Structure 1
Amino acid sequence: MNHTPASRIAIIGAGPGGLTCARILQQHGITATIHDRDAGPDVRNQGGTLDLHADNGQIALREAGLLDEFFQLARPEGQEMRQMDPAGTILFHHVPEEGERFKPEIDRGQLRALLLNSLKPGTVRWGHTLQTISGPSEGPRQLHFTDGTTTEADLVIGADGAWSKVRRALSPAVPQYSGVSFLEAWFDDVDSRHPDIADLVGQGGAAAADGDRGLFAQRNSGDHIRVYVIQRVPADWIAASGLSPEDTDGIRALLLERYGHWSPRMRKLIADNDGLYVDRPIFALPVPHTWEHNPTMTLLGDAAHLMPPLGVGVNLAMLDACELALAIAQHGTVLDAIHAYEKTLLPRSTEMARLLDCAAEELLSTELPDFANH
């Protein structure tokens, strides 16, 4: 099967990985269609900030022809990092040097908009929630969507995240709860409304832990800060406490009790938030996660290697997308392209997943990380 313009490539998921893959394919004259379950690009908040590393995420952006535009949007000052104790004493402080661009921060929404705006009109088909995939393994594949529509594809790329529908057609693996849960809190207009928190967090990230619980605060653009309350709890801890996610006052009271020995200044990070908390239990795929080679389907990003959120997820997704797109452009058949891509993808993702296996627990440790290698 040639990767001629007539070959139909369907990418499931319009996250950074899927968008990067489509962009690089288009840079090489290859058409792909992205199907995404969202009704449109602005129907939900895309989440907080992330850092794009020079040795993976930035490589993909360079191949996509978007690196200069990225640096115009990115916040190099966001590379500042503070490690504190529960009293708020700074134990480690990294301030980026002038011109340091190894891993500048960018809001997820800004990155997604950068990628979306680089694509040809009509590349993304919104409101297309994949239900099932049918057809022979050698193709063509039929994609069945929940709105009753179907389409055919010669190659299906699963870029549809943690609970990937494409993965189900390749692998029986299911994400497992890590035992650690994040609870997200938002702070708006921080310099004027929350000056103590703005001063505590600085321009980048600030973390603290006591062995059983932790906090990670991160400045976003637009004078916002997001704080992640990190606990070793059951996945249903809110309901088990007799609360609901909408019960902000009840959750706040419970957190203030659990963090009662932390300093008043640090407790502001969990109690002075604007609006609801957002429950984010951390799931990961079993390690290693591999699948039998399939000539018409493959995976990238969290669909392929869901890991704890320790700064590698989007970077690896975009590197996967870059390598897959280049493999399609450089090989004579889709079959050869998938073989070449997975030959690199699977060992790399297995190695990284083993390094990060159970690493969510490290976020609760009182031992300082080896920042030179993290």
Structure 2
Amino acid sequence: MLLKDKKVAIIGAGPVGLTMAKLLQQNGIDVAVYERDKNPKTRISGGTLDLHKGSGQDAMKKTGLLENYYTKAIAMGRIVANEQGEILFSKELSPEEQYDNPEINRNDLRQLLLDSLAPETVFWDRKFTELEEQNGKWILHFENNITATADFIIGANGGMSKARKFVTDAEIEHTGTLIIQGEVLEPKTSCPEFYQLCDNKILMSSSNGNLLVANSKNGDLLTYNVIFKTPQQWSQKNQLNSHNREEIASFLENKFSNWHECYKELFRATSSFIPGPTRKITLEIPWKTNRLLPITLIGDAAHIMPPFAGQGANTGLKDALILSENLTNGKFETLESAISDYEKQMFVYAKKAQLETSNNEIKMHDPNFSFQIFYQ
């Protein structure tokens, strides 16, 4: 076995990192996961994830957790409304579509994966700061002068990963879109008109390049994304303060001033906002071949992309599936060749996912764009 008597360190306990850990651990490999969150109860914000057949669901099946995913996930239809709150399109799911890509709360998915791992697999409150090579081993450095040792590093710690520089010179690029994430507590009473408009489906609305996508069934919350092209004059000076809820709500009410009152009701009812530009990492730059020791990247650390095709998490879970198979199937003579083969495959399907995402982003910025085009 390529990893016999070797220690694997995974940086990041998101869905991709935890899935990678499960896939290795069930093959008897010594693996540790290091996560910056304080503890497993730290809540993850953001919308639900829908795992696709052929990628995310395949990874879940390999871990033995697919049925658990189906139990916790919610199959949801789609509804398209215009800026005046008028329904343009509505789709209920057929019984055959219930398992296509049901939506799961991010916290539920993390807990599902954590429960499947051996005790003390994940080390919490470990904010990764640096890597160094020492006597043929990787030394991982974390805040508060904490260190760990490993033979093989898998960076799964997101788009801003500090492990990336050991693998590629590619740097984060902004794609020109701004997303403001919003969360609403008790939506039935705090924004009843908008909640009813959602009709227990994923709601999508667009007008003149401004878009809104909402899910009223994300655990106990209604979560949504407001999406629009980043203004050319946008700068550090006038970026929105994520800690100032009233400021962002007022900004959105003004930007969407000609939209129906139910959307403004939604903005006023929002308990927290997270604004941020969408980012990507190019895969056009070849990855380094002269690495000091075995190291690779999976998930957003490898190929972060905006969410406009629902491919980010699914592509990352496909990474974990293929890399784990290469490391455990006995087909490769060296660890380096198993890693190299994974990376060659990943470049192909991740580039395809990034292209689909980019094409959708271009379409969405068209003033005449409507979500209906995806259902014609």
Q: Same fold (TM over 0.5)?
A: yes
SS in structure 2 of the partner of residue 14 of structure 1: coil
Aligned in 2, Cα 1:148/1:236: closer, same or farther, shift over 3 Å?
Answer: farther
Matches within 5 A, 1:252-271: 252-271=249-268
Matched with 1:299 is 297
1:141-171 CA-partner distances (Å, limit 9, x unpaired): 2222222232222210010101011112212
1:191, CA displacement in angstroms? Answer: 2.6
Q: 1:92 aligns with which of 89, 93, 98?
A: 89
Aligned in 2, Cα 1:289/1:82: closer, same or farther, shift over 3 Å?
Answer: farther
Matched with 1:170 is 167
SS in structure 2 of the partner of residue 277 of structure 1: strand
1:269-324 CA-partner distances (Å, limit 9, x unpaired): 32332x23221221111353541234601110101101111211111111111111
In 1: Cα distance, 2:147 partner to 2:232 partner: 36
1:121, CA displacement in angstroms? Answer: 0.4
1:240, CA displacement in angstroms? Answer: 4.2
1:155 partnered with 2:156: no
TM-score, normalising length: structure 1: 0.90
Percent identity between the two aligned chains: 30
Matched with 1:286 is 282
1:106 partnered with 2:101: no
Q: Which residue identity is paired with 2:59?
A: A
Q: Which residue identity is paired with 1:71?
A: Y
SS in structure 1 of the partner of residue 177 of structure 2: strand
Matched with 1:201 is 198
Matched with 1:131 is 129
1:358, CA displacement in angstroms? Answer: 6.1
1:253, CA displacement in angstroms? Answer: 2.4
Q: Which residue identity is paired with 1:368?
A: S
Do the aligned residues in 1 keep the contact of 2:283 with 2:347 (CA within 8 Å)? no
Matched with 2:374 is 371
1:242, CA displacement in angstroms? Answer: 8.2
CA RMSD across the alignment: 2.4
1:245 partnered with 2:248: no
The count of aligned residue pairs is: 368
1:182-227 CA-partner distances (Å, limit 9, x unpaired): 1122222223443212211122311111233111111234342112
Do the aligned residues in 2 keep the contact of 1:209 with 1:364 (CA within 8 Å)? no
Between 59-68 and 318-327, the greater mean CA deviation after superposition = 318-327
Matched with 1:3 is 3
Aligned in 2, Cα 1:333/1:72: closer, same or farther, shift over 3 Å?
Answer: same
Between 283-292 and 93-102, the greater mean CA deviation after superposition = 283-292
SS in structure 2 of the partner of residue 63 of structure 1: helix
Do the aligned residues in 2 keep the contact of 1:178 with 1:358 (CA within 8 Å)? no
1:48 partnered with 2:47: yes
Aligned in 2, Cα 1:19/1:243: closer, same or farther, shift over 3 Å?
Answer: closer
Do the aligned residues in 1 keep the contact of 2:209 with 2:369 (CA within 8 Å)? no
Between 336-345 and 349-358, the greater mean CA deviation after superposition = 349-358
Do the aligned residues in 2 keep the contact of 1:141 with 1:153 (CA within 8 Å)? yes
1:239, CA displacement in angstroms? Answer: 6.3
In 2: Cα distance, 1:243 partner to 1:286 partner: 27
Matched with 1:362 is 363
In 2: Cα distance, 1:189 partner to 1:289 partner: 46
